[in-house]
Each structure stands twice: as C-alpha cells, then as structure tokens.
Amino acid sequence: ITKTSAEDLLFNYKGVLYPSTICSEELFEALEIFAARDDDLLIATYPKCGTNWVIQILHEMVSIIKNQETVFDHPMIEFGSLQTLEKHTERLSPRIFSSHLKVQMIPKSFFEKKAKILMVMRNPKDAAVSFFNFYKSMPALPTYESWNVFFKDFINGNVCYGSYFDYVAEWDKHIDEENVMVVTFEDMKTDFPTQLKKISEFMRLPLTNEQLCTVESRTSFTSMKEKSEDTHGKLGDAFFRKGQIGDWKNIFTEEQSKEVDEKFQQHLAGTKLGNLLNY
C-alpha cells in the first residue's frame, strides 16, 4: 500500500488534526445538532486507550441481554459522511457509539438526554506507543520516520485528535456529571471482573455473574485478536497489537519519560482523572 503525504491524509479543524479520508468538517458541523437518545451508550476515549475493547464489551453485554447475536456495527460518531449520520437514526436501541472527539465537540444531546457516557483512560506513555504503531499500520495515517519524531508530535498535540493532555483536562470538568463514568485500561487489565460489573451496572445492562464471565472470555485480548478480521476487516489485526501495561518502557528514553511526567504535572496534576491514573 502506498501512502500519500501527511498533507493529503490529515486536515486541520479548529487547530486539531483529523484523518481526512475518514472525517470531514461537514460531519463535525452536522454533529452539533445530532439527536442522541436517552438510552444511547457512548464510549469516549483519546485514541489507543482501549476504545475497541470497551466497544466489544458493550456489544457482548447488549447481545446477551437481547438474547440474540447482534450485528457488530458500532461506529465512531465522527466517521463517515452525512449519510452515515442519517443511518444512525435507523439503528435499534440501545445504540452503541464511540468517539475520540474532545468533550466540546461531543453532541450536546448526549448530555441533555443523559445518555450513558463511558470514558476510558490509559497511561499516556502506553497510549503514545500504541498510537505510533497504529500510525505505521494504517494507510489512512502518515508514517513517521522514527519514534523520536512521533514522540515530539505527540507531546505537542500535533497528532490526530490533538493533545492527550488537553483531551483529558477538558473531560475532567465533566466527570462528575451523573451520566458519565470513567474506567482505566490499567484497572481493566488488573481487575477485569470488577470493572465489567461496574460497567454493566452503570450502563444499565444487568447481567448475572455467569453472563459476566461469558463477556469476560469473549473480550479477552486473545479472543478479540482472533476475530479481528471479522470485526474490523482486513487490517483488524492492527487494533490488537500487544494489549499490555508498560510497553512504553521498551521504547521511551529516560528524557522522553520525564517530558511526559512534566506535561502531566502541568496539565493534570490534582485533577480527578489524573488521580485515577495513579500517576
């Protein structure tokens, strides 16, 4: 696959970069009047923080509750065309959506309708490494010549969807709202059963312990990687790379690690979301 230049693959909208083959300004504007339903389920994440993992979790929970295998179709609200947006109106409830948009760009109706919003956070260092590898595998994203060059762009917010630190700082202002809950990638890795129970209760998807075990096994890293081509198409494997905590230690220099720590201190020290990451 030949990649075109960064200028062709990304566009700038209000100071933030987005992939131009997937998102458009027109769609962002249309989203302002998007009508959410009160039983919609929205997953909000900065890229590479566990979006697809949680999508699959909600998908399995809904399938079990509906007692039928439902079609795996849970798009990002900001992907596609105006027609894609229109198509969402035909979907049956509960609709599962995800989005990497910063909180100010999430359609207001999700908050007004008190649709459930699940925010997933991950350590910025692991998110950065995951993002770097994802850029390499996706034809829709430009390739970086090296990790060091990518790291600079990551820390300065010159990557798709902008700065991790701004993203989290903005969401921090909303996490006390009753329709918003936060889970971390790290907590899911270390105590998956507890997090699954928390998610099912918050999302109003009540499941027995046995059903939660079924969700757990269907959403393990191995199981998701195995079915990645069915769920995510030909490039599906790229969404399930390592699925571990701490991979950053294999690639970060000490200086880069310090730079992230400083940025974290400046933007997120003392915030509720910052504290959740045990930083």
Cβ closer to ligand A3P: 99 or 133? 133
Q: Which of 48, 95, 116, 263 binds ligand A3P (CB under 6 A)?
A: 48
| CA–CA distances in Å: residue 127 to residues 150, 197, 269 | 12, 25, 18
Minimum CB separation of residue 183 from ligand A3P in Å reads 13
Q: Which stretch binds ligand A3P (CB under 6 A): 42-50, 61-69, 199-207, 249-257?
A: 42-50
Minimum CB separation of residue 65 from ligand A3P in Å reads 20
Tell me if residue 105 falls in helix, strand or coil.
helix
Q: Which of 50, 75, 107, 124 binds ligand A3P (CB under 6 A)?
A: 50
* H/E run at residue 184: strand 180-184
Q: Are strands 41-45 and 116-121 parallel, antiparallel or unpaired?
A: parallel
Cβ closer to ligand A3P: 18 or 240? 240
Q: Which of 24, 99, 133, 184 binds ligand A3P (CB under 6 A)?
A: 133
Minimum CB separation of residue 38 from ligand A3P in Å reads 26
Q: Which stretch binds ligand A3P (CB under 6 A): 10-18, 49-57, 107-115, 200-208?
A: 49-57
Q: Does 241 bind ligand A3P (CB under 6 A)?
A: yes
| CA–CA distances in Å: residue 86 to residues 61, 142, 158, 232 | 25, 30, 31, 22
Q: Are strands 41-45 and 10-13 parallel, antiparallel or unpaired?
A: unpaired
Is 147 in contact with 132 (CB distance < 8 Å)?
yes
Q: Which of 13, 242, 267, 279 binds ligand A3P (CB under 6 A)?
A: 242
User: Rounded to the nearest 5°, which phi and psi values hold at 18?
Assistant: -140, 155
| Residue listed under structure tokens 């909180």 | 103
- Among 59, 74, 88, 100, which one carries the catalytic annotation? 100
Minimum CB separation of residue 90 from ligand A3P in Å reads 26
Q: Which stretch binds ligand A3P (CB under 6 A): 8-16, 200-208, 216-224, 251-259?
A: 216-224
Minimum CB separation of residue 98 from ligand A3P in Å reads 8
Q: Which of 243, 259, 271, 279 binds ligand A3P (CB under 6 A)?
A: 243
Size of site (CB under 6 A) for ligand A3P: 21
Is 171 in contact with 103 (CB distance < 8 Å)?
yes
- Confirm whether 100 is a catalytic residue: yes
Q: How far apart are CA 144 and CA 48, in angstroms?
A: 17
Helices (H), the chain: 6-9, 25-31, 51-66, 82-87, 108-112, 124-137, 147-155, 164-172, 185-190, 192-202, 209-218, 221-226, 228-232, 254-268, 272-276
Residues contributing to the site for ligand A3P (CB under 6 A): 45, 47-53, 126, 130, 133, 219-221, 224, 239-243, 247
